[in-house]
Amino acid sequence: MCYIVNMKKRIEKDLVVDFNPPAKKGMPFTELRKLMTFWQKKLDMTDWKFELTIVDFQKDNGFRQSGHFIANPRKKTANILLTWNPWRGDEEYTLLHEMIHVLVYNFDKYSENKIKATNKKIPDSYYEKLEEMVHHLTRINLGRDNR
């Protein structure tokens, strides 16, 4: 677990992360960590070093966010950030969803750079398609119907 005391950090233009959230609700951290290890093996990412951090997401627009990731593909390190207060009741889905984002991160950044070569702004449709793909891969891995 990554311990950062009394720290809030803006990690995207509209997202502040509080790394010192209230006590965790939902699945115990130890269970989440076991799931992370399981999915790391299933995704054939055992050469990566994963950390798991429970945080409080604070979006400028008030939207509730359940997960995020910070990755360094060159060093093969990633930190999966999960909310301290899950509301969807499916923390495994959120965990796996973020891990799949890490898995496709190099391709995602490559695609963004290609788009930026001709456009100065990444269109919202790109992010929508990326999320659709990650959602699809997540539910396939979990053996679930589309929801």
Q: For 70-125, what is each residue's pLDDT tens digit? A: 999 999 999 999 999 998 779 999 999 999 999 999 999 999 999 999 988 899 99
Please check the confidence at residue 42 and state whether its pLDDT lies above 80: yes
* pLDDT at residue 131 in the model: 97
Residue in 66, 121, 63, 114 with CA at minimum distance from that of residue 90 = 66
Q: Where exactly are the structural domains of the chain?
A: 8-142
Give burial (CB, 10 Å; 0-12/13-18/19+) of 56: middle
Q: What's the longest Cα–Cα distance across the chain?
A: 46
Q: Which class is 8-142 in CATH?
A: mainly alpha
Mean pLDDT of all residues in 9-23: 90
The structure's pTM equals 0.90
6: confidence class by pLDDT, cuts 50, 70, 90: low
d(CA 146, CA 116): 32
